[in-house]
Amino acid sequence: METKGTLLIAPCGMNCGVCMAYLRTKKRCTGCRGSIEGKSNTILNCKIKNCVKLNSKFCYTCTDFPCKLITHIDKRYRAKYHMSMVENLQNIQRLGLKHFMFNEKTRWTCLNCGGTICVHRGCCSNCGEKIKS
């Protein structure tokens, strides 16, 4: 059974629950697996999400994993946001989705107020507390 939280983990390993598009109040994205209503063209046309080789819920099951698309986004997210899509996918595969989600909740919860830390902004979406990386 999928929960709202597990639906927020994209095929590429991105936790949509910590994305600025999901955390904003206006024109809020529902996550990569959510409703297509109100989604940007970037998300609708995502090459990873729409990959013809994606025959399961996550990219780690593909024989080409990690492919050029995943390594490209992984490199960018490691450099800019200190998060790895490849590591996320490996952790989902190794630990299971439930344990991965528990770890994500711990990692991205603000110690100051309990709000959610935005991966893109590096601060809590609730109180604005800057997070040291």
Q: pLDDT tens-digit profile of 21-38?
A: 899 988 888 888 877 776
Q: How far apart are CA 130 and CA 61, in angstroms?
A: 36
d(CA 124, CA 20): 10
Which whole-number Å values give the CA distances from 76 to 73, 82, 101, 113, in the listed order? 5, 9, 22, 29
**Inside any domain, residue 99:** yes
Number of domains in the chain: 1
Q: What is the pLDDT of residues 62-116, one digit of tens each?
A: 889 999 999 999 999 999 999 999 999 999 999 999 999 999 999 999 999 999 9
**39 pLDDT above the threshold of 80:** no
Kindly state whether residue 69 falls inside one of the protein's structural domains: yes
Asked if residue 66 belongs to a domain, the reply is yes
Parallel/antiparallel/unpaired status of strands 123-124 and 117-118 = antiparallel
Assigned domain for 131 exists: no
1 pLDDT exceeds 50?
A: no
Tell me, yes or no, whether 22 lies in a domain. yes
Token pair 């344990």: residue: 99
| Residue 27 domain-assigned (yes or no) | yes
E runs forming strands in the chain: 117-118, 123-124
Q: What is the pTM of this model?
A: 0.86
| 130 is a domain residue | no
| 133 is a domain residue | no
Residue entry with tokens 């904003």 = 24
Domain of 120 in residue numbering reads as 4-124
Q: Phi/psi of residue 126, each to 5°?
A: -95, -55
